[in-house]
Amino acid sequence: MLRITSLVKRYGDGAPVLQDLNLEVAGESIVSIIGASGAGKSTLLRCINRLVEPTSGCIELNGVELTSLKREGLRRSRRHIGMIFQGFNLVDRLTVMENVQCGRLGYIPYWRAALRRYPAEDIERAFHLMERVGIAHYANKRADELSGGERQRVGVVRALMQEPQILLADEPTASLDPVTSRQIMELLQSLADEFKLPVLINIHNVAEAKEFTRRIVGMRFGRLIFDGPPDALDADAMHRVYSGTPAEERGHVHPDILEATA
């Protein structure tokens, strides 16, 4: 269970990027976060794993209060928060296997990683997961020789190697073509079920959010504007998330919104 209470993030003297945000994500659920650019979606994910420090509020994962952790405690807890990035964040000169093993850096001594002397059980698990997502035959290939979809699958396996208690995905399909984008969303959907994982996905494609996730959270200016099942995300809710006003106040519904809410 991820529980976020009264979360605030402010940079300097500017307006808060996140404003008194409250959110709970239960186990075995897949939740998408939608909203216009600047709504605070990426900041929210980065606050959860402390890549960005919250200004105030509480973030709790399975009974552990993350916002109060320091150094070793934070390192141990980060091991259980898998992160999938829009830009893949792979080391291009390393092989697929070496990139995947980066997911074990929180578990093994530094010298093992530096010398590429990975434990046998980690190599076995990596092959199993790579086979699961269809990239086992690329184990010894350099990351910069892969397509975008293949690179993102490496990122997914790297996150799973952490033995995560939650997966965070920050625009995981934004750099991909439509066909590959759907494949990655289908993969995340199936992995959430298979590994009994809560998955929190920051996504711009509303149609994919409605098709592949079970709950949608809409953000605007750092606040939660919508929280419900895909079927409840109608044209009026879309207008409130993306324009801040109900549809009837605008007098029309944009065709793109009609298509996404169909």
The series of mean pLDDT values per 10 residues for the chain, 262 residues long, is: 94 89 87 93 93 94 91 88 92 95 86 83 96 95 95 96 94 92 93 91 94 94 94 93 63 42 42
DSSP element (H, E) containing 20: strand 18-25
Pairing of strands 199-202, 81-84: unpaired
User: In terms of residue numbers, what domain contains 127?
Assistant: 26-52+67-260
- pLDDT value, residue 245: 60
| Within a domain: 228 | yes
Establish if 80 belongs to a structural domain.
yes
The answer to whether residue 57 sits within a structural domain is no
Residue 259: per-residue pLDDT = 44
- Compute the C-alpha angle 28/30/34, nearest 5°: 160
CA atoms within 13 A on the CB side of 190: 9
Residue 94 lies in a domain: yes
Q: What is the pLDDT of residue 262?
A: 43
- Helices 120-133 and 148-160, interaxial angle, to 10°? 140
Helical H runs in 134-260? 148-160, 178-194, 206-212, 235-242, 247-250, 255-260
Extract the runs of DSSP E, i.e. beta strands, from 26-154: 30-34, 56-61, 64-65, 81-84
Please indicate, yes or no, if residue 15 is contained in any of the structural domains. no
Q: How many domains does the chain have?
A: 1
- The answer to the question of residue 174 being in a domain is yes
137: CATH: 3.40.50.300
> Which pLDDT belongs to residue 31?
95
Predicted local confidence at residue 7, as pLDDT: 96
Residue 10 falls inside a structural domain: no
Whether 13 is in a domain gets the answer no
